[in-house]
Structure 1
Amino acid sequence: MRHATVDVSGGRKRPKDRKAQIAQVAAELFGARGYHGVGLDEIAAAVGISAPAVYRHFENKYAILVFATRGLVDSALTATDLPPGGDAWATLEALLAALARLATTHRATSGLYQWEWRYLTPEHRAEFRDDLATLLRRVVTPLSAARPELTAADATALSRAALSIFGSLGTHRAAIARTRAEQALFRVASAVLHREPPTPAAMPAGPPENPGLRSGSRREILLAESIRLFRKYGYHAVNIEDIGRAAGINASSVYRYFPGKSDLLAAAFYRASERVSDATAAALAGAADDTDALRRMVESYVDLTFERSDLVSVYLAENNNLPESDRHELRKVQRLHVEDWVRLLGAVRPGLPTPEVRVLVHAAINLVTDLSRWVHFDRRTGMDQHLVRLMHAVLLS
């Protein structure tokens, strides 16, 4: 991209939109390696300027995160600011087309939407959530008009599912032509919005799990509490004191069981990889054919997410923060798991190009994981079976 320039002292030139350029580069780095995995000097080097030059535009790295996050959300709100009126389904189609273009255009920076927003201060996090609520309403309103049988909760959950499909493109780097990616995301999101509601009759969310139900060794309790905290606040926002306090022990006692915080994260990943492998093996055992195997895989993943939603979320979000000694092996395990899905879906849909198969697999997985952040998971509501159907809608659309 060519940047407009202006003359500065000494005959040198710099882009007129240098601040936006810095934020764009930083957002891409944050998406690839996580906010805390990127230094200000690395951002400056990637832009081609000195670190002190960055301070002419931003007070610190956090200010860049805020600016970049606002920029991403503003782009989404601008793209979806459509004139009111007209046919509800036509409005929805226009919204989905705009969001599909946005997803491909901002693929490298959508990690800000997926995970990095957790590192915002409460004030900026509230601003971010308010903007996302506005974006969500822009989908909910025409959907409710197009499908008046939906309850408000149903329309909201389906709209969140559609947004998670678009956001899924930024959770992986599988190669796919931009036009084909746009078409696939639009088709899948449209299919989800046409399907049955993800929850039956509205039912109030149950109370939080009783901490008194915790059981097992002290090591297991520490691991469980660290996973819960990593999922809620992000790995870098949690310290050993937080984990020890949540487990009911002093921070110094944590080191009797784990050498450090990174070892807790690695243990969580090994635990997750074991759960995923076991669930996959159990799902495929005795499958009558590929279609039956896919059905079993979907049910297995939904079950695992219901039972271990914190663990699954950490497994997908925090791989950039793993110790170097474990990162390569655990990322390999993750890739192999995705390839299991890709091979299976490719067998069920032999006419679908492999790049598109990968996009659908990531979209289906992200839909369930993303909804677990926003929707109360309670089997009494039948949410598990409706998520199974929505996953099928994504994979088979």
Structure 2
Amino acid sequence: MRINRAVLPLLALIVSGCVGDDQSSNAESESARNFDYQGMMANYADNVILPEYRNFAEEAEALAQGPGSVASYCDRLYNPEGMADVERVRDQWRRAMYRWQRVELFQVGPLAANGGALRNRIYSFGSSAPLSQCAVDQGVVLAQREDFDLMTRSVNARGLDALEYLLFSEDLNYHCPSQINETQGWNDLPEQTRREQRCDYAQRLADDIEAASQTLVEAWEPEGGDYRFEWVNPANQEVNLKALSDALFYIELETKDRKLGVPTGINASCSAAACPDAVESPFSESSMRNINANLDAFLVGFTGGNGLGFDDIFVQEGFARVRDEFEDTIIKATAGTDYSRPSLLEETRAQAQSGSDADCRNAAANPDVHVGSACAAHGFVKRVTDRLRTDFITIVNLDLPERGQSDND
């Protein structure tokens, strides 16, 4: 490991004042050499990353097949009682999405390879090809052909976000320009026919998500691709540690900036009072639940669960107090995002209608007195990411990810 200890004594004085003057640079270097980095990476593989992947795979399987699944819902569409099952499959989608939102914090190895191809196949939010309602509508029609192959469809018509649209949107009309051939005549079909065809495509999506989740797990398993071996191999230690650190910056680049900052107008990417069209999971209105799951996973990503984690590097380097403060900040942010009403979509629509983001920016600056709003949630998460950019990066001696060199809010 490349270890630069020169700044640590100064950080100790500035941040926590908890390192004594008698701690020499030689002692610090010895401390770094004694830390079990290989054990830490093995703990992340065996007790954090793979369990998160497996948990999602189980929910993805339940979403595709079995009680409360897409298959069960579609089978009963012909039954007068069939529509009663829509809430069951929606609940199962929410469970799968919650598990996926935890996985989002651990985009390393095969999940991040090839530009995140496997990740985008499962969920394309934040990618270069986010959900397109028109692309999904086209897929619904094309899936009726015998030669249809889902693998030919772009990720903007697949994954959990496309499935959300099909399961939660009550608008059965197409959302394509009139010149798109595939959807011409769709609105004239009987409602039951449209529901059945949408359900057929939803089943294909659910099956593909399940298959992709199994591919992800198998890529790490010793009897599969055995990426675990590459992950814990000491020769790859520095690269993999940096990859894990970069993955945790999802909490800043996606959770804070994209999921909260853009819809609320706090991030410079939104030039209006608010941008509700940028809200994640708009059909299920589960955006805040997603954000809460991100923070839950971030805490596990920092601590390594019950085993060796980044927090132990803090302690090893003499920054136990900073570690405690950081964890407390994460816990407070998690509590500050744990609500569902008003939904983020409702809140940002109201803000956009008001034409002013002044109250939002005040809430973000003073989240403790505005708990229960998305703007306050942004403030809570920013406290976490501010520490991530300073305390975390300095103490674990790693660089900011390339995409995180600037902060727009």
What TM-score, normalized by structure 1, do the two folds share?
0.31
Higher fraction of helix: 1
* Greater C-alpha radius of gyration: 2
